[in-house]
A and B are shown apart, each in its own frame.
Chain A
C-alpha cells in the first residue's frame, strides 16, 4: 500500500480500537490498547509528514470520486496538525496511566474508549477534505469530550461539562448553518470544489452570512476571547489526563479548521479583502492575550490559572493569523506545536503534584517545592518555556511572532507581546513562590504535612516533555521546517 492509502488509518486506527477497548476488562489492558493505537496514529502521521511533497495526498472513501464521495485531502498543514494531536495524545496517555488509576478507579474501559473516540474525531477533522465531514467529526470529538470532562471525581466537572456542551453545541450549530449556506449557494460540500465555486457567488449575502457563521462557530470552539467562557472550568474540573490532552489539541484543531476555511475554502483574498477579518481577529487576539494573562495573574486555582493562560495563548495563535503574512502564519503553526508541548508539560506537572496533594488550589502548593523537588523543578522549567525564555520552545514562537509584527511595521505589537510575556512571568512566579518560599502546609494539629515525591511513572513522562521543550528550543529544523511548509501549503491554496 502506498502512503496515500495508509493515510486514512491515522483516523481509522483509534476509531476502530475504541470499540475494542470498550469491551476489554480490567485497568491495564484498555490503557495498553489505547496507548498502542495513539502510538500507531503518531507513527503514521509522522510518516505522512515526512513523506508529503507539493501534491496533497488524497483518499476517496468507498472509491467514490471526490465531489460525490467523502475525500481525505492531506497537505503539509493537515499533516503537521495531525502529528501534534496524535503526539500529544500519546504523551498524555504515557503520563496518564497512574493518574487515571487514582482519579477513575472504575469503568476505565469506557473512559479509554471515549478518549480514543475524541482522538479519532480530532484527527478526522484535521484530515478530511469535506466540509460536512468536518462537522460530523467535530460532533464525535465534542460529544466524547463532554463525557470525558464529566468523568472527573470533582462534582463541579458535571456543570463544567454541561456548560461546555451548551456552548459547544451552539458553536457546532453555527458551523453547520454556515456550511448549509455554502451548500445552498454552491451545491457542493467538498472543500476543493467549494473553493472553485464560491468566487462566482462570493458577492452575495448568503455566502457572507455563511462565512460569518462559520468563523463565529469556530471562534467558540477555539475559545477566542469573548467566546472563551466554557474553557477555564472545562479544563479545571476535567480529569488531569484529559486536561493535558485537551490543552494540547482541541483548540488547535479548531484553529486549523478556521485557517482551512479562511485560506482554502473562501480564499485569502475574500476572507481578508471582502470582509475586514484581519482587523477583527487582531482586536480579539490582543484582547485575549491581555485579558487571559490578567485573569491568570490573580487566579487562586492553578488549573484555572493555566486555562486562562491558554486563552492568552490562543490570542498569540490568532495574532499570527491576523498579520496575514507567511511569517505570521509560520509563527502560528510553530506556536501550535510549541504551545502544545509547554501546556502539556505544565498540566502534567500540576497533575503530578495533585496526585499527591489532591488539590489544585495555590494553598495546596505551599512548600511542595521542597517536598517534591523533581516535579516542581519540571514545572519551573516548563514555565520558562511558557514565558518564552531563550533556549526554550516558547522563545521560538515568540521570536517568530515578533518578527511577523516587525515585518508588518507594528512596533507597538512587539511591546504588547513583551508585556504579556512579563504577565506570564508573574503568574508562573506565583506558583514558584508558593512552592518554595511559603512554609509547608500544616494539618489541624499543627503538624507539617509531608508529601512524598511522585512515582517515576509520572515523573519520567513529565521530564520527557520538559526535555522536549528545550530540545525544540535549540533544534528547530523539525518544528520550524514543518510549520513553514504548513503555512506555505495554506497560502499556496489561494493562488
Chain B
C-alpha cells in the first residue's frame, strides 16, 4: 500500500501521535484510566499501521523479531524483579511501600515500573502475533505464485 500517497502521508502524521498517546496512557495509568495493557496495545497498533502501509520487511527492520521476543520476556522479568526486590527489602511480594521512604511515592514508583513491564510485554506480544499471521499470509501467497 506504500504507493498510495494519501495513506503514506496520513500514516506518517498519525503514527507518532498514536505512539505519543500510548505513552500518555502508560504514564498516567497509576491515577487515571489506563495502564500497561491499554498502552501496550495502542503502541503495537502504531507499529501495525506502519507495517500495513510500508510492509513487513521494513517493519521488522524497525524492531527485529528476536528483539520483540527478548523484550517480551524483559517486560515480565521487570515485573517480577520489582516484586522480588520488595521481598528482599523485607516486604511482601509486590509490596511497593518498602521501595521508598514515603509510602505514597513508593506505591507510585512501584506501579509505574510494574506497568512499564506490562506495557512492554503486551506491545511486543501483539507485534509478535501480528508478525506470525503476516508471515503466514506471505508464505501462502508465495506457494500460490509457484502453483
Contact = CB atoms under 8 A, between A and B. Distances in A.
**Chains A and B are bound partners:** yes
Interface of A: 1, 5, 8, 12, 15-16, 19-20, 22-23, 59-63
A59 B94 CA distance: 12
Contact of B94 (A15, A19, A20, A62): A62
A107 to B, nearest CB: 11
A118 B28 CA distance: 33
User: Interface centre among B91, B95, B96, by most A CB within 10 Å?
Assistant: B95
B73 interface: yes
A19 B92 contact: no
B77 A63 contact: no
A60 B76 CA distance: 21
Contact of B95 (A12, A16, A20, A63): A63
Given A16-B80, A19-B80, A63 B73 contact: no
Contact of B77 (A5, A12, A19, A62): A19
A427 to B, nearest CB: 42
Contacts of B91: 63
Contacts of A12: 80, 83, 93
Nearest to B80: A16
30 contacts: A1-B87, A5-B87, A8-B93, A12-B80, A12-B83, A15-B80, A16-B77, A16-B80, A16-B84, A19-B73, A19-B77, A19-B80, A20-B73, A20-B77, A22-B73, A23-B69, A23-B70, A23-B73, A59-B92, A59-B93, A60-B92, A61-B95, A62-B92, A62-B93, A62-B94, A62-B95, A62-B96, A63-B92, A63-B95, A63-B97
Contacts of A16: 77, 80, 84
A489 B84 CA distance: 31
Interface residues of B, number: 16
B70 A61 contact: no
Interface of B: 69-70, 73, 76-77, 80, 83-84, 87, 91-97
Task: Give the dominant DSSP class at B's interface.
Answer: helix
Given A23-B70, A62-B96, 12 more contacts: A1-B87, A5-B87, A8-B93, A12-B93, A20-B73, A20-B77, A22-B73, A23-B73, A59-B93, A61-B93, A61-B95, A62-B95
A5 B87 CA distance: 9
Contacts of B73: 19-20, 22-23
Most buried by A among B73, B83, B93: B93
Contacts of A63: 91-92, 95, 97
Nearest to B70: A23
Nearest to A62: B94
Which secondary structure dominates chain A's binding surface?
A: helix
A336 to B, nearest CB: 28
Contacts of B69: 22-23
Nearest to A23: B73
A15 B77 CA distance: 10
Contacts of A59: 92-93
Contacts of A15: 80
A443 to B, nearest CB: 36
A324 B70 CA distance: 51
Nearest to A22: B73
Contacts of A20: 73, 77
Contacts of A22: 69, 73
Contacts of A61: 92-95
Nearest to B83: A12
A437 B27 CA distance: 71
Nearest to B92: A63
A19 B79 CA distance: 11
A15 B87 CA distance: 16
A56 to B, nearest CB: 17
Contacts of B87: 1, 5
A5 B94 CA distance: 13
Contacts of B80: 12, 15-16, 19
A256 B84 CA distance: 29
A63 B110 CA distance: 13
Contacts of B77: 16, 19-20
Contacts of B92: 5, 59-63
Contacts of B83: 12
A20 B69 CA distance: 12
A8 B87 CA distance: 11
A63 B80 CA distance: 16
A5 B93 CA distance: 9
Contact of A19 (B76, B93, B96, B97): B76
A23 B91 CA distance: 29
Contacts of B93: 8, 12, 59, 61-62
B122 to A, nearest CB: 15
A379 B52 CA distance: 56
Nearest 8 CB-CB pairings of A with B: A63-B95, A62-B94, A63-B92, A16-B80, A19-B76, A19-B73, A62-B95, A19-B77
Contacts of B70: 23
A23 B75 CA distance: 13
Nearest to A8: B93
B76 to A, nearest CB: 5
Contacts of B95: 61-63
A203 B118 CA distance: 42
A63 B103 CA distance: 12
A180 B117 CA distance: 29
